[in-house]
């Protein structure tokens, strides 16, 4: 389940305990911008 929107989402990796998981829609908002 996405930690942002609460939508159930499939992630291609096993979520780490204690770390938030985001769906594809929310992920870009939480990614640190690369310079």
Of 33 and 24, the one with more pLDDT? 24
Task: Please give the pLDDT value at position 24.
Answer: 86
Task: Please give the pLDDT value at position 19.
Answer: 86
CA separation for the pair 33, 5 (Å, rounded): 20
For range 10-35, the mean pLDDT: 80
CA dihedral 32, 10, 25, 7 (to 10 degrees): -120
For range 11-33, the mean pLDDT: 81
Long-range contacts of 22-28 (CB under 8 A, 24+ apart): 26/2
Task: Name the pTM for this structure.
Answer: 0.56
């Amino acid at each position: 389940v996405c930690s942002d929107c609460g939508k159930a989402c499939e992630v291609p990796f096993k979520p780490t305990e204690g770390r938030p998981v985001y769906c594809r829609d929310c992920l870009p908002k939480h990614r640190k911008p690369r310079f």
